[in-house]
Amino acid sequence: MNNVASIATDDVRELYRELILDHARKPRHFGRLEDATHTAEGINPLCGDKLKLYIELDDSGVIRDAAFEGSGCAISVASASLLTDTVIGLPVAAAVHWFENVTAILTSDSSDPTIDLGKLHALEGVREFPSRVKCATLSWHALNSALENDKTPATTE
């Protein structure tokens, strides 16, 4: 029974690795968003990841669109791509809730157990590599900064 569980876990990890690679190679919502109402820069000085996140809120406080541009490692780019896929269509409060939960999952064991991470489960494997957690959380910190209208570049330091 232990072997079956191990094989299943390995298969799931491989699927998540493929999802990360897919989003890194073909990032969704990559590019400048001309109608952005909120922006934030993110910098990870240790790894060299740099991004600019664009958010367009409608009048009711719902994220109408999101995009990013910049450069970074595969994990950083994939995380930003997954972030944009996740937050489009969400009210600001829900996007902040996602920020809190994703960063908690990557940096500790405390997160909202009722939240279904869906594709974002792919980022959980990053916890096995503590030096890469900052790569995965950079875009999420930029999201929080953008929504708070904080003009200071977001950093993971």
Reported as a single tens digit per residue, the pLDDT across 98-112 is: 999 999 888 886 666
Over residues 148-155, the mean pLDDT reads: 92
At 128 the pLDDT is 80
Over residues 6-34, the mean pLDDT reads: 82
What is the per-residue burial (b if ≥16 Cβ within 10 Å, else e) of 11-39?
Answer: eeeeebeebbeebbeebbbbeebeebebb
pLDDT tens-digit readout, 118-146: 888 788 888 888 888 999 999 999 999 99
Q: How many domains does the chain have?
A: 1
Nearest to 137 by CA among 95, 106, 116: 106
pLDDT classification of 4: cutoffs 50, 70, 90: very low
Residue-averaged pLDDT of the chain:
88
CATH code (residue 125): 3.90.1010.10
Identify the three-state secondary structure at position 53.
strand
- Residue 97 sits in which domain range? 2-155
At 61 the pLDDT is 96
Q: Provide the whole-model pTM.
A: 0.87
